[in-house]
Amino acid sequence: MNLNHPVLVKPPQVLSNQVTLKNNFDIERRDLSETEIVLVQQGNVNAWFDGISYSLESGDIVLIPGLSYRLSFSGENSCTLITLYLSSFQYAGWEEGRLPYISNETLLPRSNSTVTMTGIITQVHGELSEKRPDYKTAAGKLIEYLLILLQRKLMDNDADAEPASLLSGIKEYIENNYEKNITLSSLSDIFFVSPFHIAHLFKEKYDISPIQYLIKTRIKIAAELLLQTSYTVVEVSNLVGYPNANYFNIIFKRFTGMSPGKYRKKMQKKI
């Protein structure tokens, strides 16, 4: 048996649900027995897993292996989700009801490689909702194909990701999402590479750890905001990902040699 190529020995039982979230929607799910595959079909929604927040957009897919989580939505526009609930399935050599290689929530951002998966999820929900002749067989075949595509993507991204492309993607993600709660664990979930591997490759290429690069990026943006805007120090602190302004002051001083307030006064005199 080759565990590198998991074999589905017991197909899943599948249920589906489509829900449209509106005005200040907030729901928490606990003690889940199924593995969930959630597609953001339209709009945006925030999801929390063990205190880590993800901002999900249309086309994003989230794999949830029986974990509790919370969804929150607010805004004028609605958000539509399709959720597939998988149970009573098993891969050879793996625990029943669990997808191989997935122990935490796993985000698959919208990309060319997820378009087919998005279509299949929608089709599965359509079959289960419309209940046309042989709908259970059709939905079963579709979900098995979806699981094959998911495993291929997870395995390919983990084993064969080209280092330069991977690292530039991580670097770009940090630069575009510095205000989020980014950790090695969350980067691992997003890029499907182990935290140790990410830390090792990133430090080797850029001579700085991913988390130190995140801090450096935050301080750089904070310095720009202090000089170019009238935001208070507390507001700047929140904008760059530090809810605790006192901690932000300590980090900022460590990198610049002065507090945010003193930095603003000193630099503005030079302008």
Question: pTM for the complete prediction?
Answer: 0.59
Assigned CATH topology for domain 161-271: Arc Repressor Mutant, subunit A (1.10.10)
Closest CA to 160 of 192, 189, 185: 192
Q: Which residues are CB-neighbours of 214 under 8 A, at least 6 positions away?
A: 174, 178, 182
Tell me how far apart the alpha carbons of residues 248 and 67 are, in angstroms, rounded to a whole number. 32
From the centroid of its chain, how far is CA 175?
A: 16
Q: Taking the alpha carbons of 12, 54, 159, 124 in that order, is the dihedral positive or negative? A: positive
Give CB contacts under 8 A, 24+ apart, made by 113-121. Answer: 113/153, 114/59, 114/61, 114/153, 116/149, 117/61, 117/146, 117/149, 117/150, 118/39, 118/59, 118/61, 120/145, 120/146, 120/149, 121/37, 121/39, 121/61, 121/82, 121/84, 121/146
For the domain covering 8-160, report its CATH number.
2.60.120.280
User: Per residue of the chain (271 residues), what is the pLDDT tens digit?
Assistant: 334 567 889 999 999 999 988 877 777 887 677 899 999 999 888 888 766 677 788 899 988 888 888 888 776 778 899 999 999 999 887 888 888 867 677 888 888 878 999 999 999 999 999 999 999 999 999 999 999 998 887 776 554 445 666 788 899 999 999 999 999 888 888 887 778 778 888 888 888 999 999 999 999 999 999 999 999 999 999 999 999 999 999 999 999 999 999 999 888 776 6
Q: Measured between alpha carbons, how far is residue 174 from residues 37, 167, 171, 190 in Å? A: 26, 11, 5, 12
**In degrees rounded to 5, what are phi and psi of residue 228?**
-105, -5
- The CATH 2.60.120.280 domain(s) of the chain lie at 8-160
Q: How many CB atoms lie within 10 A of CB 46?
A: 15
Q: Measured between alpha carbons, how far is residue 70 from residues 27, 73, 198, 256 in Å? A: 6, 10, 28, 38
Tell me how far apart the alpha carbons of residues 21 and 72 are, in angstroms, rounded to a whole number. 9
3-state secondary structure of 130: helix
- The CATH 1.10.10.60 domain(s) of the chain lie at 161-271
